[in-house]
């Protein structure tokens, strides 16, 4: 017969609690991996009064696909603004006093830099959900025709709607549509929703209007007992036609951008360099600046800046994959 001693059991329980308590390094890693959690722990109820001012951020956060609580993300925005303000103010004050600047001038400059830094941190964190939602929308619009075709094949094989989404969710490829299918099945299997309610929730959090319209039509066809295969095939055909038109328009826009690239970054700089070279030979100046200074400005500043603007424009227009 085993004899249990109270002292030894309490000691083991205390040791288990000590072992389960995260160390300082683990807390630091958790704060880096999930900064919104650390922000909510620091601020929490202190920012309850400012939550209503961020309500327009809630739908973008939902559509971004980030599983972050709304109040926690608002805490992250406020904490980031505070940290960037303090960092900008402190760095400017230290640098200004180090070069022996006037105290009042340094403090005013530090206040301006701190406000600018805080506004920048606020804007970046505030805009991230919208940027993520736009990225997910583009990827979802690209994947949707192929997902519809796959679902049409499964519907033609006689699979019920829930089995169709389960097969789509089991895709091994990294896909936004497959991720949404897994979320729909999570609502059904774990949260107890029926499929139609889960599809309605997916429509509300979808960043893509095309995907929302597809789910609405899928729900209506399922509820009315219509031909699911016919609906899926016709929807995939319509979207492919729209994508074909969009691709044709993109080719035309790229042609216009190519002509603009040749004009702005090849012909125009050459004309400027030739013109300034002739002016330099005759000893002219422009606005009090020497011709060679302007040529250096054109060569090392204007042309690279225009090239960077062109690259950013092309990156925003071209599909990511």
pLDDT digits (tens, 9 = 90+) for 172-186: 777 888 888 888 998
Asked whether the beta carbons of 129 and 66 are under 8 A apart, the reply is: yes
Percentage of residues in the chain having pLDDT higher than 90: 7
Confidence at residue 65, expressed as pLDDT on a 0 to 100 scale? 80
Report the alpha-carbon distance of residue 259 to residue 253 in Å, rounded: 10
Judged against a pLDDT cut of 80, whether residue 320 lies above it is answered with no
pLDDT at 86: 92
Band (pLDDT 50/70/90 cuts) for residue 33 is low
The pLDDT assigned to 7 comes to 45
pLDDT on residue 2: 43
How is the chain split into domains, by residue range? 6-134, 136-242, 247-317
> What is d(CA 29, CA 182) in angstroms, rounded to the nearest whole number?
28
Distance CA 294, CA 156 (A): 69
Q: Pick left, alpha or beta for residue 56 (phi over 0 → left; psi -120 to 50 → alpha; otherwise beta).
A: alpha
**E strand intervals along 194-308:** 285-286, 289-290
Candidate from 12-16, 49-53, 303-307 with smallest mean pLDDT: 12-16
261-310 pLDDT, tens digit per residue, is: 888 888 888 888 888 888 777 766 666 667 777 788 888 888 888 888 88
State the chain's mean pLDDT as an integer.
80
Domain 136-242, CATH: 1.20.81
| The token pair that represents 253 in the structure block | 């826009």
| Rounded Cα distance, 201 and 74, in Å | 23
The residue assigned the tokens 């973008």 is 60
Query: What residues have CB less than 8 Å from 277, skipping those under 6 apart?
Result: 291, 295
pTM beyond 0.85:
no
Q: How many other C-beta atoms are found inside a 10 Å radius of the C-beta of residue 256?
A: 9
pLDDT digits (tens, 9 = 90+) for 88-119: 999 988 888 887 767 888 888 889 999 999 99
Is the pLDDT confidence value at 1 over 90? no
Q: Treating both helix axes as pointing N-terminal to C-terminal, what angle do 209-224 and 103-156 enclose, rounded to 10 degrees?
A: 30
Structure tokens at 246: 């969009």
pLDDT band with cut points at 50, 70 and 90 for residue 19 = very low
Q: With 80 as the cut, is the pLDDT of residue 66 above it?
A: yes
Cα–Cα distance, 12 to 181 (Å, whole number): 45
| Both structure tokens of 156 | 């033609």
Q: How far apart are CA 198 and CA 209, in angstroms?
A: 17
- Are 80 and 31 in contact, with CB atoms under 8 Å apart? no
Where does the pLDDT of residue 58 fall: very low under 50, low under 70, confident under 90, or very high at 90 and above?
A: confident
* pLDDT of 199 over the 70 cut: yes
Confidence of residue 84 (pLDDT cuts 50, 70, 90): very high
């Amino acid at each position: 017969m085993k004899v249990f001693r109270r002292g030894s059991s309490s000691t083991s329980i205390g040791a288990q609690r000590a072992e389960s308590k995260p160390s300082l390094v683990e807390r630091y890693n958790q704060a880096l991996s999930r900064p919104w959690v650390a922000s909510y722990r620091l601020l929490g109820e202190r920012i309850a009064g400012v939550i209503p001012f961020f309500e327009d951020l809630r739908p973008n956060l939902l559509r971004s696909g980030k599983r972050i609580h709304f109040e926690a993300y608002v805490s992250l925005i406020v904490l980031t603004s505070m940290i960037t303000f303090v960092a900008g103010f402190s760095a400017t004050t230290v640098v200004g006093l180090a070069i022996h600047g006037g105290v009042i001038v340094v403090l005013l400059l530090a206040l301006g830099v701190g406000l600018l830094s805080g506004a920048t941190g606020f804007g970046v964190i505030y805009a991230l959900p919208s940027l993520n939602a736009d990225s997910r929308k583009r990827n979802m619009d690209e994947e949707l025709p192929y997902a519809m075709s796959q679902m049409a094949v499964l519907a033609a094989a006689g699979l019920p709607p829930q089995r169709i989404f389960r097969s789509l969710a089991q895709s091994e490829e990294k896909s936004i549509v497959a991720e949404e299918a897994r979320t729909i099945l999570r609502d059904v299997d774990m949260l107890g929703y029926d499929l139609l309610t889960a599809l309605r929730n997916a429509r509300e959090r979808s960043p893509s209007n095309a995907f929302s319209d597809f789910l609405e039509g899928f729900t209506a066809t399922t509820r009315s007992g219509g031909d699911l295969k016919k609906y899926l095939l016709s929807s995939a055909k319509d979207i492919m036609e729209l994508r074909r038109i969009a691709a044709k328009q993109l080719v035309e826009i790229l042609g216009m951008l190519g002509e603009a690239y040749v004009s702005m970054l090849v012909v125009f700089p050459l004309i400027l360099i030739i013109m300034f070279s002739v002016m330099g030979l005759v000893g002219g100046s422009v606005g009090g600046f020497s011709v060679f200074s302007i040529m250096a400005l054109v060569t090392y500043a204007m042309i690279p800046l225009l090239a960077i603007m062109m690259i950013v424009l092309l990156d925003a227009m071209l599909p990511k994959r």
